Amino acid sequence: MLWQKWILKSRLCWAVLAVFFFFSLVPPNAQAFLVQSRLSSGEMISERADQIATIQSALEQKIVSQWLQDYGLSKAEVVAKLDTMSDQQVRQLAELSGDVGGGAIGTTISVLLIILLVVVILRVSDRRIVVQ
């Protein structure tokens, strides 16, 4: 139990905290020697930092605009709808892109359910599928 008392000593805890505090002040150097990510134009993130937000907003608007058209809205309606939406709302809608339809997992579950249903009906009706 001695070692537990020693570890929980407030002096030691404060010393450890102080050391970690100073370490946390040192900026992480992990990416310094990595070549930065590039845009499709070949420019690096840092070279277009001032325009990144504009690019993001334009592309997200494009996604949302397409979706609204997919839902049956006309181009004029889409423009009117987008005008009423804030950048934040457009972003939230665009961010759903990966979630709609449940992706691969959703598709797999749907296919499995259909197979299960077919198997149950065949079992109940005492039929079999024979592949020859």
Partner 1 sequence: MIRVRVAVILLCGLLMTISACSLPRITVLSDPLTADEHNDLGVSYEASGDWDRALATYAAAAAKDRGWDQPLINHGNVHAAMGNWTDAIASYRRALRRNPDNPEAMNNLAYALLQVHDVRQAMKWSKRAHTIAPENVTFISTQALILAELGKAGEAAVLLEKALLRLSPDDPLRHPVQKLADELSAGRPALSQ
23 binds partner 1 (CB under 8 A): no
Only segment of 2-10, 14-22, 41-49, 108-116 that touches partner 1 (CB under 8 A): 41-49
Q: Which of 7, 15, 39, 119 binds partner 1 (CB under 8 A)?
A: 39
Shortest reach from residue 72's CB to partner 1, in Å: 8
| String of DSSP letters for 22-78 | HHHHSPP-TTTTSPPPB-TTS-BGGGGGGGHHHHHHHHHHHHHHHHHHHTT--HHHH
Shortest reach from residue 2's CB to partner 1, in Å: 35
Only segment of 8-16, 17-25, 78-86, 117-125 that touches partner 1 (CB under 8 A): 117-125
Phi, psi of 39 (to 5 degrees): -75, 170
CB atoms within 10 A of CB 64: 22
125 binds partner 1 (CB under 8 A): yes
Contact between 64 and 82 (Cβ < 8 Å): yes
Q: List interacting residues with partner 1 (CB under 8 A).
A: 29-40, 45-46, 49, 52-53, 55-56, 59-60, 62-63, 65-67, 70-72, 95, 97-98, 100-101, 121, 124-126
